[in-house]
Structure 1
């Protein structure tokens, strides 16, 4: 019985795949429980034409509807089926400084 309780108590503190590590929830338009993840700042580059996803070379213009402000100030990338080389569904970027 004790193991049963500990197992379910541990589940309550585990973040779901739909949640960012800091606790905010990825929008369902971007994530189906496996598509999104936090990435290092070095995974994304900024160029005059927009954000570059370094793993794929994909360019997302700054005004692209897939580019969103990150609630926790970190980069988060949502790709098709969560694949490292999948097409971008959403890209969360830190807010720009004034």
Structure 2
């Protein structure tokens, strides 16, 4: 029994060392939505707590740098626009203040 545990530990460590992941990490499915949100935040350079105004300002700032008229590509602009749209769509709904 002790040998089996030692072999399992050794195989787990070897898997981590060779492939960069623990064996049980291959069993779980990746959450693609959270990965897309992380990538969009990273592209725009905003935090997870950013509101719509901050997202739009970051988009405007990045657009000035990578716009096709300034030497950027259409693909980069499409990715930037998609990142903005994804982040704005996933903002928590805020109710307007009632006086």
Shorter-chain TM band: 0.3 to 0.5
- Provide TM-score, normalisation by structure 1: 0.33
Say which one has the larger Rg. 2
